[in-house]
Structure 1
Amino acid sequence: MLTRRFVLGLLAACAVGALSPAQAQTFTKQVTIIVPYAPGGTSDVLARLMAPKLSAAIGQPVIVENKPSSSGNVGADYVARAAGDGHTLLITDAGTLASTPNLFKKLSFNVQTDLVPVTMVSFSPYVFAVHPSVPASTFEELIAYDKANPGKLNVGTSGVGSVQHLTAIVFSKKYGIKWGIVPYRGGAAAVRAVVSNESNVIFNGAIATQPFVVQNQLKGLAVSGEKRLQALPNLPSFKELNTPVTDTGSWQAIYASKGTPPAVAKKLSEEFGKILAAPDVTAKIAELGSESRAGTPEDLSKWMTKSIAEWGEVVKSENISLD
């Protein structure tokens, strides 16, 4: 009779044998995807959507671990310091990651040298919404309400220095809005705070925010980007409103630890590219109000360099400092 240990070993050998030699050599243990925000946000939803498919592709367990912190810096630092072997990954709001070098002069990691680009994942426009109790149904009405009630509104954000935070500051300067800005431990926590009326205004990725608007738990006013969302066709786009920042939103990307070989980063990029091209994944991401944006490590590196420069101009022109 075969022993249980022998059978398990045989099954494991078969699983590895089904992989290519390169896969078997590259991935030798559990892969952990770090989400630097609380569960339920955009990064978390995407990580849990892709993890089982990555596991099937590489023949190793893939788990998702949340390490929430202000703006995701603790989670990013954790990944930056992990072994550079491709087994510890970061999925994060790349726009917020791009803003941090201009806002925090004492970061414990360097965005461009301590994290290895793997791939962009998606772009999710922001849904700009308020608690239903706020007596405003359009962006113009919200501005008018704030001017009549200065200091009464609070914007919930995913953390200090996040793109939501910067967007709220830019809007307040442009339109003379006197709202407060309240940081939470990720976008999901910020959404929950506004749904409960702890805060009352939010800019947040559609994946985590759109369902609450559809269910009338939040009142949508607009969406970022150049076009309207299919699921929320009555909400004007930021381009239509001629806002000071149009393409602001949740750009999700995956990074590996410092020292991860280029060949491993490329292999991961290819696997994630296949996952994001799968019809069921593409359809699910679209259903959630986002768009798949897979690409090469080089594409992500160029995007990050460009975004750091662009957010640097915003921070400089608006004289924003968080240190």
Structure 2
Amino acid sequence: MRNLNKNRRSLMMAAASAGLGLGGFPMVSSAQSFPISGKPIRIVLPVPPSILDTTLRLMFDSVSAELGTNLIIDNKPGASTIIAAEDVKRSAPDGHTLLYTFVVTHTQNPHLYSKLPYDPFRDFIPVTQLVRSATVLTAHPKAPFNNIKELVAYAKANKGKVAFGSYGNGTTSHLNGEILQRSANIELIHVPYKGSSEAVKDLIGGVVPMIFDGTQSAVVNIKAGLVKGIGTATDRRIAVLPNLPTISEQGVPGIDIVGWQGLFAPAGTNPAVVERIAAAFQKAVRQKAVTSFIEEAGSEVSGTTPAEFSAIVRKDYDRWGQVIKATGLKFD
């Protein structure tokens, strides 16, 4: 045992002298050593190119100026955000790889998958929540229902024949559909897609009659007449769609957990670097052009500190855990 401990200490000292962590990654010794010269910050998104990319790119000039390096987006969609999360988990904790994701990754997946390849708390550091958002139940203009009461009646008259699309298994878009079925005592067919773009495309094309869509695309498509709003999955009406009642208002409770979008860094990233990145994005998200873009799409600007975001993640993890346990959903 003494020899093993001695060898372990020797290895740790050798790694430290070489500037390596136990995982073999370079350690960021201080905020002054960040950014690494000539190395951009790669932001991994768990969905195909979408309005999320646009939101981030509006902040890039400001963030780049603050941090002194370029930023790039790397879209890695699929598997309910797991592919993107695992990519970032395995990346060097040097501040140059970040995950920009939604509530699903850290607050829903852990309750849906028994063998998740990452731990939401051990493997990541919350950096900042940038956007507070929600989902809106939208339908094709020709769908034979215009509100929750009509939808429930139609679904009961056509048991097991009415479908709803989602961004993918285990996403908020999917979970809200499951809660709707249980709360309204109806049976729907779930059609999962590989991200929001494909789901919205098929909704507009009439392939699926309805989806729980994010406010950013739902608002745009409702105003353009490409889809119609059935109800908001929020605790109160959203300012940009003041005449659209919440689903709870229409008699189906429980679909009212506010969503968000935020940045995470791999575990082991220097806290000073995390704070510096957070500060740069907090400043960027509060620019008038960015704020207007986010609010016009029906979402709210946030811009939390790492500590505030950590508390939000933990709270939502507990709340979604209760919801998912009640539905009995498991995907493995």
Q: Same fold (TM over 0.5)?
A: yes
Q: 1:155 aligns with which of 141, 164, 170?
A: 164
Q: Please report how far the alpha carbon of residue 322 of structure 1 lies from its aligned counterpart in structure 2 after TM superposition.
A: 1.3
User: Taking structure 1 as reference, are residues 96 and 137 closer, same or farther at Cα in structure 2, changes over 3 Å only?
Assistant: farther
Q: Please report how far the alpha carbon of residue 83 of structure 1 lies from its aligned counterpart in structure 2 after TM superposition.
A: 0.4
The one-letter code sitting in structure 2 at the alignment partner of 1:81 is R
Equivalent residue, structure 1, for 2:62 = 53
Equivalent residue, structure 2, for 1:175 = 184
Alignment identity in percent?
34
Equivalent residue, structure 2, for 1:33 = 43
Equivalent residue, structure 2, for 1:208 = 217
User: Taking structure 1 as reference, are residues 243 and 27 closer, same or farther at Cα in structure 2, changes over 3 Å only?
Assistant: farther
Any conservation in 2 of the 1:129–1:218 contact (CA below 8 Å)? yes
1:116 equivalent in alignment to 2:131: no
Equivalent residue, structure 2, for 1:8 = none
Q: Please report how far the alpha carbon of residue 224 of structure 1 lies from its aligned counterpart in structure 2 after TM superposition.
A: 2.2
Q: Any idea what SS the aligned residue of 1:110 has?
A: coil
Q: Which runs of 5+ in 2 are unaligned?
A: 1-29
Residue by residue over 1:36-86, the C-alpha shift from the partner in whole angstroms, topping out at 9 and shown as x without a partner, is: 111114x33322222332122212110111101121110011011100011
Q: 1:281 aligns with which of 277, 290, 304?
A: 290
> For residues 164 and 294 of structure 1, what CA distance do their matches in structure 2 show?
24
The one-letter code sitting in structure 1 at the alignment partner of 2:116 is L
> For residues 35 and 256 of structure 2, what CA distance do their matches in structure 1 show?
36
User: Taking structure 1 as reference, are residues 141 and 186 closer, same or farther at Cα in structure 2, changes over 3 Å only?
Assistant: same
1:85-96 matched pairs, under 5 angstroms: 85-96=94-105
> For residues 196 and 118 of structure 2, what CA distance do their matches in structure 1 show?
22
Q: Please report how far the alpha carbon of residue 23 of structure 1 lies from its aligned counterpart in structure 2 after TM superposition.
A: 7.0
User: Taking structure 1 as reference, are residues 45 and 248 closer, same or farther at Cα in structure 2, changes over 3 Å only?
Assistant: farther
Equivalent residue, structure 2, for 1:136 = 145
Equivalent residue, structure 2, for 1:233 = 242
> For residues 74 and 200 of structure 1, what CA distance do their matches in structure 2 show?
28
User: Taking structure 1 as reference, are residues 49 and 23 closer, same or farther at Cα in structure 2, changes over 3 Å only?
Assistant: farther
Equivalent residue, structure 2, for 1:125 = 134
Equivalent residue, structure 2, for 1:266 = 275
CA RMSD of aligned residues (A): 1.7
- Kindly report structure 1 stretches of 4+ aligned residues shifted beyond 6 Å: none
Q: Which runs of 5+ in 1 are unaligned?
A: 1-21
TM-score, normalised to structure 1's length?
0.88
Any conservation in 2 of the 1:116–1:258 contact (CA below 8 Å)? yes
Equivalenced residue count is 301
Equivalent residue, structure 2, for 1:251 = 260
> For residues 247 and 265 of structure 1, what CA distance do their matches in structure 2 show?
31
Residue by residue over 1:234-281, the C-alpha shift from the partner in whole angstroms, topping out at 9 and shown as x without a partner, is: 210234235332433431010012211111111111111111122221
Equivalent residue, structure 2, for 1:3 = none
Q: 2:308 aligns with which of 299, 307, 310?
A: 299
